[in-house]
Amino acid sequence: MEQLGQFMPFILMFVVVYFFMIAPQMKRAKKEKKFAAELKRGDKVVTKSGLHGKVADLNDKDNSCVIETMAGKLKFDRSAISMEMSSKLNALAK
């Protein structure tokens, strides 16, 4: 019983770290993965580097998409598209 008392602060610290850091990070990653999977042609997006454009084509084989910008078409990985910035852009457009 006394040994359990020694480890209780570590167990409690792990529980706190899990609920305040690990669980929200996993939830966010799941949302981003769902966002990338639900992209469709014509969606206005912003990449994490700040490039604005519209989805011109999607490729499920290599998980990429072609984004049409004013300068032309560029191929990006779907994970390079920012969920937050794209949703803000679409919210402002409405």
| pLDDT score at 92 | 76
Q: 34 and 45, same structural domain?
A: no
Q: Which domain holds residue 10?
A: 1-38
Q: 89 and 43, same structural domain?
A: yes
Predicted confidence (pLDDT) per residue in 27-57, tens digit: 999 999 999 889 999 999 999 999 999 999 9
Three-state secondary-structure class, residue 47 = strand
Q: 9 and 52, same structural domain?
A: no
Q: 45 and 31, same structural domain?
A: no
For residue 72, give the H/E element and its range: strand 72-77
* Domain total of the chain: 2
The beta-strand segments (E) located in 22-63 are: 44-46, 52-59
Q: 31 and 1, same structural domain?
A: yes
Q: 24 and 43, same structural domain?
A: no
pTM of the predicted protein model: 0.72
The answer on pLDDT for 94 being more than 80 is no
| pLDDT score at 91 | 80
Q: 88 and 44, same structural domain?
A: yes
